[in-house]
Amino acid sequence: MIGYLQRKLHNLTHPLLGRILMLHRVVEQRSEGENRELEITPNFLKQTIDDYRNQNYRFVSIDEACDIITKGKTKQHFLCLTFDDGYQDNYDIAYPILKELGVPFTIYVTTGFIDNRVPMWWYPHEQLGIRTESLKALDVDPLCTIGAHTVSHPRLDILTVEEQCKEIAVSKENLEQWLGHSVAHFSYPHGAYNKDTLQIVHKCDFHSALHAWGGTVRRGDNIYLLPRIELRQP
């Protein structure tokens, strides 16, 4: 009861600003194994966008979301779409839909997965990493923001400070070199972090960092610990 009341009180003094959704793959045919929960169909994506628009959410880029979070107020709740890892289907299947509907989105790319230099071990028989030319094509569209998601997708919280620094800083540097501009946003692989991780993303000059644990974005939220809601298709 006390917990409930505390949460109620917290929510009253920290009004809802918006929601950040976490997605991975968009595929025509979902797989049967445990990767199924990482996959949604094009129709489910369109339906989700429709539903949030009907609830009067406004779709914004991660930059605009950060702006709203920093100001701590908004007239209309925001909805921010994010994709993790960097799958080629984000370009082939999700992008045409988002382009048609005018929905901004962010892709957090694990740099080792680009052109399949490092395999995604949870899809051992497929080469699903985004290709450099697709990433560059997305990057020139103002609808798309490219963020960093480490070099090799480790759990950062069990690495040493030096190892964490390398994973975080090198992924940022690589992307910046390839894209020719700064990369300002980060998401934690597996949603895992510790107090060192937060210091490193701050030191690396990221403007925001997102974890993978559910929750809405409210006034006063830590910009380096923004919650996301995983979009799951039943």
Contact footprint for Zn ion (CB under 5 A): 84-85, 189
Residue among 112 and 189 whose Cβ is closer to Zn ion: 189
In the complex, the smallest distance separating the C-beta of residue 149 from Zn ion, rounded to whole angstroms, is 6
Residue among 77 and 153 whose Cβ is closer to Zn ion: 153
Closest CA to 144 of 74, 65, 180, 91: 91
The pair of three-digit structure tokens given for residue 232, joined into one six-digit string: 């799951």
Residue among 84 and 89 whose Cβ is closer to Zn ion: 84
In the complex, the smallest distance separating the C-beta of residue 55 from Zn ion, rounded to whole angstroms, is 27
In the complex, the smallest distance separating the C-beta of residue 145 from Zn ion, rounded to whole angstroms, is 16
Phi–psi pair at 157, nearest 5 degrees = -70, -15
- Using DSSP's 3-state secondary structure scheme, residue 102 falls into coil
In the complex, the smallest distance separating the C-beta of residue 188 from Zn ion, rounded to whole angstroms, is 8
Question: Do residues 101 and 56 lie in contact, with contact meaning Cβ atoms separated by under 8 Å?
Answer: no
In the complex, the smallest distance separating the C-beta of residue 34 from Zn ion, rounded to whole angstroms, is 15
The pair of three-digit structure tokens given for residue 151, joined into one six-digit string: 């070099």
Cα–Cα separations (whole angstroms), residue 197 to 11, 71, 72, 169: 27, 25, 24, 11
Can you tell me the distance from the alpha carbon of 194 to that of 217, in angstroms, rounded to the nearest whole number? 20
In the complex, the smallest distance separating the C-beta of residue 61 from Zn ion, rounded to whole angstroms, is 20
Which residue's Cβ lies closest to Zn ion?
A: 84
How far is C-alpha 18 from the chain's CA centre?
15
Residue among 207 and 211 whose Cβ is closer to Zn ion: 211
DSSP secondary structure letter of residue 101? H
Question: Do residues 92 and 138 lie in contact, with contact meaning Cβ atoms separated by under 8 Å?
Answer: no
Q: Is 105 buried (19+), middle (13-18) or exposed (0-12) by CB count in 10 A?
A: buried
**228 CB-side CA count, 13 A:** 29
Residue among 59 and 87 whose Cβ is closer to Zn ion: 87
Residue among 84 and 167 whose Cβ is closer to Zn ion: 84
